[in-house]
Structure 1
Amino acid sequence: MVSLPPPLSRTLYRLQEQALKRPTFAYLGDLEHNQWLAREELESLQLQKLRALLAICLAHCPWHARRIRNSGIDPENLTWEDFRRLPTMTREDASRHGDEMVWREAPGGIYRYNTGGSSGEPLIFYFGRKRQAADAACRIRARRWWGVEPGDREVLLWGAPVELNRTDRLKTLRDRLCNQLLLNAFEMSEARMDAYLDQVEAYQPKVIYGYASSLALLAEHAEKRNRVPHLPQLKVVYATGEPLYPHQKEIIARVFAAPVAREYGARDAGLIALESPAGQLLVNSEWLIVEILDDKGNPVPDGESGEVVITNLASEAQPFIRYRTGDRARRSATPCRQGRGLEVLEEVEGRSTDFIVSPDGTVMHALALIYILREIPGVRRFKIIQQRPTQVEVLIVPEPDLWQDANLDTIRRGLRQRLGQEVAINIDLVGHIPAEKSGKYRYVVSEIQGTPHVETNR
């Protein structure tokens, strides 16, 4: 498979960023230096950028300006105590009041974007060159932790349109010039995955990047086919877009013979954290303020679960300030083991829709049910959908040679032990489980609105 020499590809990428007036490499230089600042120095840098962002809001974003004035905050003399007086904002706020949030004359122009919509209606929002450059620079820095440079060959297992329009074709050309090979995560048939394994081996990437579920699906297929690709140059596999479960990480690492790292971000909130070779999820603290809050909006102690609330300091085109993501995570009390001042997340547990609620109101992590299905011989793939606390649907793709009808009773017993005996469990044996609209293959989906923010390790 054709690729450019990495130094040439790297040069072309730099020229592209210059032509688009994106300060990606200037930001990268700052990140390489600032990651080694002490935590207090990074917090001072955050506060400086936050003051500038709030000043932009007062001048150009009426909805945010009202929030700031109603809170009695002076951005020029802002303190952290002042900042926490600002009310949080929600996805509904961003959707309903987006026109009053957008700075349409932001330097470099603004660009319309939308979330994947896997948990409901997609959110339409705008970002500018600053946000694009900040995200790119943070990702490049993290790749460098693993010995990967811009222009090194990369395989992306990602959502891609089936029919390419002119813009898509131009992007495909740009990807190839930047030594990026895109494989469509929407098309994961067995024949297509056979072809993907051939393409990956022929391309010999230094990094593979994709949805956690899609990477695990490809790895499972490779092992089933006894078709383990030989990838001696591969430095790291980055899994993103959804929680990376332990069994997924194990099989991806085994099949691709490389470390597996997590990337945590959201299209609206930004690129939040990436895993280092020391196994820690490091926050991009220079550009993101991450709060972990309880149901009443108070910070939770380190190690305790709460909702992730994000302030993106590069989001001047449409500011996301104290934005409730709906994600659940825990902050770590252990600092970066390699000496960086960046904050550390202990675990990202997933969205509220990744949690299951029992009829008595107990909320449990998806893993509580996933492990039940994984223990059943003959279950090739599955998906659990909870419509309401007393009703669960289970889709199963059976393994013909191993499946036994007695498994149906075993699954029902196991699920009722977790959820309660009164829960109705409908099991359908199917030939295929399609991906979500976003291209992800989710194991557990809760359709219950307003899932309570309490949980158990039950």
Structure 2
Amino acid sequence: MRLIPPALARSIFRAQEFLLRRPTFSMATELERTQHLSRQEIQNLQLQRLGKLLHTALAHSPWHARRILEAGLDPENLSWEAFRRLPTMSKEDARHHRDGMVWREAPGGIYRYNTGGSSGEPLIFYFGRKRQAADAACRIRARRWWGVEPGDREVLLWGAPVELNRTDRVKALRDRLCNQRLLNAFEMSEARMDAYLDQMEAYQPKVIYGYASSLALLAEHAKKRNRIPHLPELKVVFTTGEPLYPHQREIIQHVYGVPVAREYGARDAGLIALDSPAGQLLVNSEWIIVEILDDEGNPVPDGQSGEVVITNLASEAQPFIRYRTGDWAYRSTESCRQGRGLEVLDEVIGRTTDVIVRPDGTYMHALALIYILRDIPGIQQFKVVQEIPEKVAVFVVPEKKQWHEDNTERIRQGLQQRLGGDVAIDIILVGHIPPEASGKHRYVVSYVGAVS
């Protein structure tokens, strides 16, 4: 496996961003400065950029323009109180009114993307160069907190197509030139995972990045094999795409021997927050406004949970303004322990599809069920699927040497204690649980509270 010097890979990455007319590195340099502004100064910067976004929306996005005018917002004279008069927008709004949102002549062109559709129909939307650069710059800044620079060797455990078209092949070549190696999260057989561990040791990455579930699955396999990879250059493992559960953090840290940091974002909403070495999830406040709202759309007090509603200040090509993400989170009562003016999220619970709904309407964190199943010996893998509140299907891959027939009843009783005795628990023993279409290996999926 040929290794490219990090300095050369960094130069290639810079040249790529320049040729694509993305101001990624100038944005990253600016972020190094603005993160040390006070909270008030960052809020002033947000209002300034919000005014520019509203100006753009008024001129180029008829659907948003109508809402802005009806709410009586003046981009030249904004306040947070006035901003909150603007109604929130949903995924259904973004789906059905896309043509009334998109600025097709945005500088640098627009680029079609789609979400994974884990809670229903995928959402098709458009990026501009500004949004792409802002996401990349925020990621560069967060990597630097951990001593990682663009061009440093990186392994990605990620969903990847089996058949590569011409565009995929070009991307694969670009990734290699920029010192990124992709391991396919769709292919997680024992033989393939053995090969992944070999490839990691041969490549010696400085950072590993991937789905929390896939990284935990690989770590569990390594521990089972008594095969702890020797990775002396590794600084940090970044997890993304789904909640990081405590048992996943524990096994990943144990096997890879470095801290685990979360990356929180979404394709449509943008890169929202990343973990700092001080163990706090810091919002990219210069480019993302985060509101935590209750069911009636009112702000919840710090330390209480609510829905994450974002405004992406770089989303001029298709504005996402007061956009309901369908995620639940807590805003921290703390400020940044390292003196930055960035906002802090205490915990991201996950999507509505990660939250179980009891028949009485009570919402329950997925961990309530995960802990029950993890405490029963003989379960190699599992997945809980809820279609309706009154019924839950549990798919189990049994560990043959440790599995006992009475485990079925233990699972049923444990879950009914959490969900209610009237809930039907259908337990299905299988030889393999395939990943989601995205490549994620999700423990709990509920379609009851899914936000459209």
* TM-score (norm. length: structure 1): 0.98
| 1:387-434 deviation per Cα after TM superposition (whole angstroms, max 9, x unaligned) | 111101000000011000011111111011011111111101100001
Q: Distance in 1 between matches of 2:332 and 2:449?
A: 29
Where has structure 1 moved over 3 Å in runs of 4 or more? none
Query: How far apart are 1:306 and its partner, in Å?
Result: 0.1
SS in 2 for 1:427: strand
SS in 2 for 1:193: helix
Give the counterpart letter for 2:110 in structure 1: I
Matches within 5 A, 1:46-195: 46-195=46-195
| Residue 328 in structure 1 maps to residue 332 in structure 2 | no
| 1:234-285 deviation per Cα after TM superposition (whole angstroms, max 9, x unaligned) | 0000000000000000000000001000000000000000000000000000
Query: How far apart are 1:294 and its partner, in Å?
Result: 0.3
Structure 2 match to 1:345? 345
Give the counterpart letter for 2:201 in structure 1: E
Q: Distance in 2 between matches of 1:449 and 1:144?
A: 37
Bigger Cα displacement from structure 2, 242-251 vs 11-20 = 11-20
Structure 1 match to 2:199? 199
Query: How far apart are 1:360 and its partner, in Å?
Result: 1.6
Structure 1 match to 2:29? 29
Structure 2 match to 1:364? 364
Structure 2 match to 1:436? 436
Query: How far apart are 1:62 and its partner, in Å?
Result: 0.2
| 1:151-210 deviation per Cα after TM superposition (whole angstroms, max 9, x unaligned) | 000000011110001000000000000000001111111111111110011100000000
Q: Distance in 1 between matches of 2:215 and 2:384?
A: 20
Query: How far apart are 1:363 and its partner, in Å?
Result: 1.2
**8 Å Cα contact 1:156-1:210 kept in structure 2:** yes
Give the counterpart letter for 2:341 in structure 1: G
Give the counterpart letter for 1:274 in structure 2: L
**8 Å Cα contact 1:117-1:438 kept in structure 2:** no
SS in 2 for 1:77: coil
**8 Å Cα contact 2:154-2:208 kept in structure 1:** yes
Q: Distance in 2 between matches of 1:391 and 1:81?
A: 43
**8 Å Cα contact 1:115-1:124 kept in structure 2:** yes
Give the counterpart letter for 2:65 in structure 1: A
- Shift in CA distance, 383/450, structure 1 to aligned 2, threshold 3 Å: closer
Structure 2 match to 1:411? 411
Give the counterpart letter for 2:138 in structure 1: C
Q: Distance in 2 between matches of 1:58 and 1:17?
A: 29
Q: Distance in 1 between matches of 2:41 and 2:362?
A: 41
Q: Distance in 2 between matches of 1:359 and 1:64?
A: 38
Alignment RMSD: 0.8
Matches within 5 A, 1:7-26: 7-26=7-26
Give the counterpart letter for 1:280 in structure 2: Q
- Shift in CA distance, 335/32, structure 1 to aligned 2, threshold 3 Å: same
Matches within 5 A, 1:291-306: 291-306=291-306
**8 Å Cα contact 2:115-2:123 kept in structure 1:** yes
**8 Å Cα contact 2:6-2:151 kept in structure 1:** yes
SS in 2 for 1:233: coil
Q: Distance in 2 between matches of 1:117 and 1:359?
A: 25
Structure 2 match to 1:228? 228
**8 Å Cα contact 1:31-1:141 kept in structure 2:** yes
Q: Distance in 1 between matches of 2:242 and 2:450?
A: 20
Query: How far apart are 1:384 and its partner, in Å?
Result: 0.4
Could you tell me which runs of 5 or more consecutive residues in structure 1 were left unpaired when the two chains were aligned.
Answer: 452-458
SS in 1 for 2:76: helix
Matches within 5 A, 1:413-428: 413-428=413-428
Query: How far apart are 1:449 and its partner, in Å?
Result: 4.4
| Residue 212 in structure 1 maps to residue 212 in structure 2 | yes
**8 Å Cα contact 2:326-2:450 kept in structure 1:** no
Structure 2 match to 1:455? none
Structure 1 match to 2:2? 2
Q: Distance in 1 between matches of 2:308 and 2:426?
A: 33
Matches within 5 A, 1:233-252: 233-252=233-252
- Shift in CA distance, 213/361, structure 1 to aligned 2, threshold 3 Å: same
Structure 1 match to 2:256? 256
Give the counterpart letter for 1:180 in structure 2: Q
Structure 2 match to 1:456? none
| 1:279-328 deviation per Cα after TM superposition (whole angstroms, max 9, x unaligned) | 00000000000000000100000000000000000000000000000000
Q: Distance in 1 between matches of 2:253 and 2:349?
A: 20
**8 Å Cα contact 2:237-2:261 kept in structure 1:** yes
Query: How far apart are 1:331 and its partner, in Å?
Result: 0.3
Matches within 5 A, 1:280-291: 280-291=280-291
Q: Distance in 1 between matches of 2:304 and 2:313?
A: 25
Structure 1 match to 2:354? 354
SS in 2 for 1:361: coil
Q: Distance in 2 between matches of 1:437 and 1:117?
A: 9
Q: Distance in 1 between matches of 2:447 and 2:46?
A: 37
Query: How far apart are 1:450 and its partner, in Å?
Result: 5.4
Q: Count the aligned residue pairs.
A: 451
Could you tell me which runs of 5 or more consecutive residues in structure 2 were left unpaired when the two chains were aligned.
Answer: none
**8 Å Cα contact 2:36-2:339 kept in structure 1:** yes
Q: Distance in 1 between matches of 2:99 and 2:188?
A: 38
SS in 1 for 2:48: helix
SS in 2 for 1:335: coil
**8 Å Cα contact 1:3-1:176 kept in structure 2:** no
Q: Distance in 2 between matches of 1:325 and 1:364?
A: 19
Q: Distance in 1 between matches of 2:409 and 2:192?
A: 34
Q: Distance in 2 between matches of 1:358 and 1:333?
A: 30
**8 Å Cα contact 1:210-1:238 kept in structure 2:** yes
SS in 2 for 1:108: coil
SS in 2 for 1:289: strand
